[in-house]
Copies of this chain bind each other. A is one copy, B any other.
Amino acid sequence: MSKKPLNIGMIGYGFMGRAHTNGYCKVSNFFDLEYEPVLKAACARNAEKVQAFADNWGYESIETDWRALIARDDIDAVDICVPNNLHKEIALACAEAGKMILCEKPLSMDTAEGEEMCQAVEAAGVRNMVWYNYRRVPAVTLAKQLIDEGRLGRIFHYRAQFLQDWTISSDLPQGGEALWRLDAEAAGSGVTGDLLAHCIDTALWLNGSIDTVSAMTETFIKERVHQETGEVMPVNIDDACTFMGKFSNGSLALFESTRYARGHKALYTLEINGEHASIRWDLHDLHRLEYFDHRDDSIVRGWRSVHVTDGDMPYMDKWWVPGLQIGYEHSFVHQVADFLKSLEEGEAPAEPTFRTALETQKVCDAVLKSAANGSWEDV
C-alpha cells in the first residue's frame, strides 16, 4: 500500500488511551485516506503496565519518560492522555520539538495555562487538536448541519446537562491513579472540567460564544479517604455545577452537571429551541436525534425521532446499513479520520484546535469564578 504513515506516540494508557488507540487502529479499515496512523510508541511511568498496553494494541515500542518519547525522531504526533495538570508541560515540550499534538480534553487546568499552550503551538507551527469527541457523534454532527442550513431560525434557548451517579457512595475514595478526577490538584476542577467542558465545547460550536454566566457549585460529600495515603481528607472538587448565561446571539444558556443524579450513568443531553425548529440529543441513546419542525402540517406535527444510521448522514456511509448503530467509540475514529484528512488537505486544521478549545476554558474559568463569588461574570 501507498499510504503515508503518521507515527503516533501515546502518553497514557487509561480509558482515553484505549479509546484513542482504537481510533487509530480502525480508521484505515473504514476511511479511505492518504495517511495511516502507525502505533510507534506508548509511554507511561510504569514499564510493566505500559508494555502490557503496547502488546495488547500493537505499539511497536515503549517509553517510561515522556521527554524521551518526544525526543524520538520517529514520532510525528504525540497523544496526551494524562491527568490535566500534566497537559501544559508536555504540550510545551512537544511544540518545542515540533511534534503535532492530540491532547485529551480539557485543554488545561485554566485559561492562563491554555493561553501559554496556544502560543507555544502557534509559534512552533505544529498541528494541534483537542479530543472533544462528541462533535463527531453523527447525530451531533447532523445537528450542526441542520443549524448551519438555517433550519432552526433565531435561537432562543440552549440547554445542556451531563448527569452521572457514580460518586454518590461516601465509601468511594478520592485521588490516586484511578480517581484523579476527584482531586483538584490533578484535575483542576470536578465536574466543571470533566463534564461541563464537553457541554460547553459542543455549545460554542453549535451556538456561538457565551458572554456572561452566573454559576453555583456544590460538594455534597465533604471528606473522603485518599486512595494513596488512606487518610480522610477534605474533598476539593465540585460535585455539581450549574450555570445560567447568555450567548452572543441573544439566546439563553442553562447548563448543569453532577455526579449525584441517581439513575444517570453518563447522560449528556442537549436541546436547542429555535424560532422554527428545535433539536434534542442525549448520549444514552446517542444515535437518535430528536427534531421538531413547526413548519410541518399542524395535524402531523411532532418530535421526530431520527435514527441516525443512514448513508446520507454524517460519517455513516463508512459503516454498515440503515438501522444498524455504531458505538460511542466511533466518535474517536471519526476524529482521527478528520485529523488525517486535514493533513491530506493542507491548510485548515481539524477542529477543535488548542485555540478553539481555549474558549471552553474561558467559560469554565468564568463559571468557577462566578460560583466562588456569587456574582455574574463576563467570559
Taking beta carbons and an 8 Å cutoff, which residues of A are in contact with B? 1, 15, 19, 22, 25-26, 28-29, 55-57, 142, 145-146, 151, 156-157, 159, 164-166, 168, 214-216, 218, 220, 240, 242-246, 250, 252, 254, 256, 258, 260-267, 273-278, 283-286, 288-289, 291-294, 296, 298-307, 309-310, 312-313, 319-330, 374-376
Question: What are 20 A-B contacts with C-beta separation under 8 Å?
Answer: A151-B300, A156-B258, A157-B240, A243-B244, A254-B256, A261-B273, A262-B273, A262-B275, A262-B277, A263-B277, A263-B294, A265-B309, A283-B323, A285-B288, A298-B310, A320-B328, A325-B325, A325-B328, A327-B329, A374-B376
- CB atoms of A142 and B299 under 8 A apart: yes
CB distance from A111 to the nearest CB of B (A): 23
Interface centre among A1, A15, A25, A240 (most CB of B within 10 A): A240
Among residues of B, the one whose C-beta sits closest to the C-beta of A217 is B252
A324 cross-chain contacts in B, Cβ below 8 A: 266, 283, 327-329
- CB atoms of A303 and B263 under 8 A apart: yes
Query: Which one, B19, B262, B292, B319, contacts A263 given CB within 8 A?
Result: B292
CB distance from A149 to the nearest CB of B (A): 9
Q: How far is the CA of A281 from the CA of B262 in the complex (A)?
A: 15
Query: Which one, B284, B304, B321, B376, contacts A300 given CB within 8 A?
Result: B304
Q: How far is the CA of A342 from the CA of B309 in the complex (A)?
A: 33
- CB atoms of B305 and A305 under 8 A apart: yes
- CB atoms of A300 and B291 under 8 A apart: yes
- CB atoms of A307 and B157 under 8 A apart: no
